[in-house]
């Protein structure tokens, strides 16, 4: 009997991850035999965990916080979008090393433009954060046509480094966190920080929101997204979106890279959204 191919998601924390549920659903839909598990790994354990995974027959990994930049550094080869991000969330073992991709930005843009029918073109966009998640989505936001991308991070040097890597100084610029009150308003605000995981209230200025048409997006989902989304609604954003749709779409990108077929994401997203809504109502 053939042993199913092994895949996993690695991060810390990881117990909350929906990726095993998503990939199991994709596997059932496409008739592909595989196993997909969640692996907890501290930063100092990351390389050893990857080596053990390969030794046990592992073929592909999704990578989440806090390992995306470290994962990219380990890649022997990488796609242009992973190189543009300087971060990888999808690893494929080629026999001689890891091949890295970054599906985060494609997943975000597909969720916003195809599922939710938002037109991102011409929007002035504020990106909060400059870590692996922000690096993954920033190049695709520019490709989607945002008119301006302002990157703000508590460590200003990381924001500077991200904007330098993007290579579009006319559209992508870094500013200090203390400047938030003076940045004007935005048609799109993307939270790629850990604000919602660190505090129950988000103290951002309401003046960041362009009245009537601002789209707010938190790249997290579940409880971690609640504080930012609550702030966005209170500030008058026209729409406030969590990262669940992005998670499903980026997973489909990874699945296609590994298995050569793109699953239908609609039923999986609908089931997860219904489950999330039911849990929120129960709380």
Domain boundaries, the chain: 5-104+246-265, 105-244
Q: What confidence tier does 1 reach under pLDDT thresholds 50, 70, 90? A: low
Span 104-124, mean pLDDT?
Answer: 98
Cβ neighbors of 224 (< 8 A, separation 6 or more) are 194, 196, 197, 218
- The structure tokens listed for 161 are 């480094």
pLDDT exceeds 90 at position 277? no
Question: What does DSSP say about strands 58-63 and 34-40: parallel, antiparallel, or unpaired?
Answer: unpaired
The CATH code of domain 105-244 reads: 3.40.50.720
- Average pLDDT of the chain? 94
pLDDT at 3 (0 to 100): 81
Strand positions, DSSP E, 85-193: 90-93, 98-101, 124-128, 148-153, 172-176, 188-191
pLDDT exceeds 90 at position 263? yes
| Residue range 5-104+246-265 in CATH 3.40.50.10860 | yes
208 is in an annotated binding site: no
pLDDT exceeds 70 at position 78? yes
Condensed to tens digits (0 to 9), the pLDDT of residues 12-65 reads: 999 989 999 999 999 999 999 999 999 999 999 999 999 999 999 999 999 998
133 is in an annotated binding site: yes
Above pLDDT 70, what percent of the chain? 96
| Global pTM value | 0.94
31 is in an annotated binding site: no
5 among known catalytic residues = no
Q: Do domains 5-104+246-265 and 105-244 have the same CATH topology?
A: yes
Q: Widest CA span of the chain, in angstroms?
A: 64
Q: Which of 68, 81, 123, 175 does the annotation list as catalytic?
A: 68
pLDDT at 212 (0 to 100): 87
Q: Which of 125, 231, 234, 126 is nearest to 180 (CA)?
A: 126
The order of strands in the sheet holding 239-241 is 172-176, 148-153, 124-128, 188-191, 215-218, 239-241
Q: Which of 31, 30, 23 is nearest to 268 (CA)?
A: 23
101 is in an annotated binding site: no
């Amino acid at each position: 009997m053939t042993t199913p191919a092994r895949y996993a998601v690695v991060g810390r924390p990881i117990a909350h991850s929906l990726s095993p549920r998503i990939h199991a659903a994709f596997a059932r839909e496409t008739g592909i035999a595989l196993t997909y598990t969640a692996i907890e790994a501290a930063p100092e354990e990351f390389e050893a965990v990857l080596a053990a995974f390969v030794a046990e027959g592992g073929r592909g990994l999704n990578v989440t916080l806090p390992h995306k930049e470290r994962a990219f550094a380990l890649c022997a080869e990488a796609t242009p979008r992973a190189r543009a991000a300087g971060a990888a969330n999808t690893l494929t073992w080629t026999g001689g090393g890891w091949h890295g991709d970054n599906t985060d930005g494609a997943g975000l843009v597909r969720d916003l433009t195809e599922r939710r029918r938002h037109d991102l073109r011409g929007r002035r966009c504020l990106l909060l954060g400059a870590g692996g998640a922000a690096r993954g989505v920033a190049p695709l936001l520019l490709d989607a046509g945002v008119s301006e991308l302002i990157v703000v991070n508590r460590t200003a040097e990381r924001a500077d480094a991200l904007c330098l890597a993007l290579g579009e100084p006319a559209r992508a610029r870094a500013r200090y966190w203390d400047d938030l009150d003076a940045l004007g308003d935005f048609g799109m605000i993307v939270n790629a920080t850990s604000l919602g995981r660190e505090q129950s209230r988000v103290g951002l200025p309401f003046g960041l929101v362009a009245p009537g048409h601002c789209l707010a997006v938190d790249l997290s989902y579940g409880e971690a997204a609640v504080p930012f989304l609550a702030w966005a609604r209170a500030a008058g954003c026209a729409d406030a979106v969590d990262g669940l749709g992005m998670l499903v779409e980026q997973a489909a990108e990874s699945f296609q890279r590994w298995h050569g077929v793109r699953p239908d994401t609609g039923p999986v997203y609908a089931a997860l959204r219904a489950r999330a809504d039911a849990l929120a109502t129960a709380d």
